[in-house]
Structure 1
Amino acid sequence: MRAYTAAIGDYPHTAAVKAGGRFEFADVEPIHRAFAPMVRSLRFDFAELALATCLQAHEAGVGVSLLPLVLHGNFHHRSIWRRAGGPGLAELAGRRVGVRAYTQTTGLWVRGFLASDYGVDLDGITWVTTEGPQVAGYAEPANVTRVPGPLVAALEAGEVAAVVMGPRAVPEGAPLEPLLPDWENAQRQWFARHGTVPINHLLTVRTEVLRSDPEAVRELYDALAAGIDARGDERLRYGVPAVAEAVRIAVRYAAQQHLITTEPTVDELFADFQRYLG
């Protein structure tokens, strides 16, 4: 029986699966370092993959199939920061805002709610990045620039007005504060409107593996689903109906932000899953 390779992060809901079995788990930390090797050279049989990268890989025809299982998800109204007392939301127009990569999924969600809920002109902002795209061939918009980093230092120096990063990535003691002072209320309102939690990372598989050995794919999918069930966390879920609305919103945001040029349907994105496992 073949042992398949997998690049999946260390979470409570993945611990049991990663403890042993027929899957060989790559040691990749942080997990986003596995994304480019997966979409550029199909380095692994299975991989956790950021949703924005999934959408770009689908459009580029990369031989990776999306599986409707959320390995990481969260709200992101707290994921944009300013210097204490720095420029506010209304002052972002025409400014520079830092984000690790323009294609980063946290940035996708932050830009999405800034535009849809606060009327921010995303094209009028210069997006200052330290990393390029993971999917080869993607051309970044003209208002994206690269700097050597780190972005927190650029923010503290006033070189950018704000920076996009998850709360856990903010250095301890950094004099930063959320750009949205009412982020908790904004988060609750977003959930009330959409009835879903933003998705960061999905499980993916090489399409050839899904075609040739769907039983192995089902085995890993079911094992991870059991871990999600044990957690009982609304940010984690599986199955097409459970992920559909968040995926639809992400597709719309991605098209608006020039990450993709067409808007695939949920059925198109999960066609391989439905065909071989559905």
Structure 2
Amino acid sequence: MKVVLGDYSHSRAVKDLPDHEFVEVKPLYGAFARMVRTLEFDVCELALATYLQARDNGVPVTLLPVVMIGGTHHRSLTRLPDAPPLTPDDLRSRRVGVRSYSQTTGLWVRGLLREEYGVNAADVTWVTTEEPHVARYTEPPYVERSAAGTVVDLLQAGDVAAAVLGPRAVGGQGEGLVPLIEDAEAAGRAWVERHGTVPVNHVVVVRNAVLEEDPGAVDALYAALKAATAGAEPPVAAGWSEQLAKALEIGGRYALEQDLIRTAVDVAEIERGAARWSD
């Protein structure tokens, strides 16, 4: 099987599996469009929003109940340190940069903006630098594409007032930026306590045809990931859980509110698809 996984301690531990070809793609999100547009890989790590959109558009993949990375995103809404003070409430009718409207970090940021500040996705103009991974998805009218470079370039040029750039943004773009949300870490912990789960960023999917043709190979990879993620910090884990179900439900609800998907996410249906890996 051709497998794409990011570079983490829990993925490095499985990359010596026999009969599995681990393909390196850097940056990792470069593999996402290749997976959902052409099914280039047999198993692929995938951003949550991309998975939800792929599912909404009938892409024949099945979710493995494995979370590769995740975390809260209150620190991911940022501005330049020397820019005028700005709060989340000030974002109405402003321009905010984000790599792609369907980027999963943006999904979680827009969700908390609506939930905690009453700022809806349509209240903001989202300026993007990249297209969606799912080719059949059409962005809403309050999304613009820019050819001006990276998201941090948009910030520095004054084209946007704020940006979705967390501390782990590709290329270190988030370094030195200031969160708009005061005490972002405490706000993130409060979100987790309120919802009983941690936001999920990346999951793992398998091509349906591969699951039908060689389920044993998929099961072997899943078993290795389950062993490698044992004891990891949430939400990183393998196995269906109440926390994963809640993250899918909330992420799916946010995605529907933000016009990322057209139909509500049926978490029970996703769980049935992953039943063979339930403990």
TM-score range, shorter chain: over 0.9
* Within-5 A mapping of 1:261-276: 261-274=262-275, 276=276
Aligned partner (choices 77, 80, 102) of residue 80 of structure 1: 77
Counterpart-to-counterpart distance in 2, 1:40 and 1:119:
35
Considering only aligned residues, what root-mean-square deviation do their CA atoms show, in Å? 1.6
Aligned partner (choices 1, 10, 13) of residue 10 of structure 2: 13
Asked whether the 8 Å contact 1:67–1:270 carries over to 2, the reply is no
SS of match in other structure, 2:137: coil
- Residue aligning to 2:165: 165
- Residue aligning to 1:64: 61
Question: Post-superposition shift, 1:102?
Answer: 0.2
- Residue aligning to 1:113: 112
Any idea what the Cα deviations from partners look like across 1:203-226, whole Å, max 9, x if unmatched? 100011112222211110110111
Q: 1:90 to 1:200 in 2, by over 3 A?
A: same
Q: Which moved more, 1:70-79 or 1:11-20?
A: 11-20
* Within-5 A mapping of 1:1-278: 4-84=1-81, 85-86=83-84, 87-148=86-147, 149-169=149-169, 171=172, 176-229=177-230, 231-241=231-241, 242-274=243-275, 276-278=276-278
Any idea what the Cα deviations from partners look like across 1:214-249, whole Å, max 9, x if unmatched? 2211110110111100x4312212222241001100
Q: 1:104 to 1:33 in 2, by over 3 A?
A: same
Asked whether the 8 Å contact 1:97–1:161 carries over to 2, the reply is yes
Any idea what the Cα deviations from partners look like across 1:159-195, whole Å, max 9, x if unmatched? 1011002212274796521111210110111011011
Counterpart-to-counterpart distance in 2, 1:41 and 1:129:
23
Q: Which moved more, 1:83-92 or 1:190-199?
A: 83-92
Return 5+ residue gaps in structure 2 as ranges. Answer: none
SS of match in other structure, 1:189: helix
Counterpart-to-counterpart distance in 2, 1:26 and 1:10:
11
Per the normalisation by structure 2, the TM-score is 0.93
SS of match in other structure, 1:10: coil
Asked whether the 8 Å contact 2:168–2:174 carries over to 1, the reply is no
Asked whether the 8 Å contact 2:75–2:179 carries over to 1, the reply is yes
The count of aligned residue pairs is 273
Counterpart-to-counterpart distance in 1, 2:5 and 2:172:
25
SS of match in other structure, 1:267: helix
Any idea what the Cα deviations from partners look like across 1:7-28, whole Å, max 9, x if unmatched? 1111001112113422101110
Counterpart-to-counterpart distance in 2, 1:252 and 1:182:
26
Counterpart-to-counterpart distance in 2, 1:173 and 1:234:
23
SS of match in other structure, 2:46: strand
Asked whether the 8 Å contact 1:247–1:266 carries over to 2, the reply is yes
Asked whether the 8 Å contact 2:167–2:175 carries over to 1, the reply is no
Q: Tell me which amino acid in the other structure corresponds to 2:155.
A: L
Asked whether the 8 Å contact 1:8–1:48 carries over to 2, the reply is yes
Question: Post-superposition shift, 1:264?
Answer: 2.0
Question: Post-superposition shift, 1:267?
Answer: 1.7
Asked whether the 8 Å contact 1:83–1:177 carries over to 2, the reply is yes
Asked whether the 8 Å contact 2:65–2:277 carries over to 1, the reply is no
Per the normalisation by structure 1, the TM-score is 0.93
Asked whether the 8 Å contact 1:6–1:47 carries over to 2, the reply is yes
Asked whether the 8 Å contact 1:7–1:28 carries over to 2, the reply is yes
Return 5+ residue gaps in structure 1 as ranges. Answer: none
Question: Post-superposition shift, 1:72?
Answer: 1.1
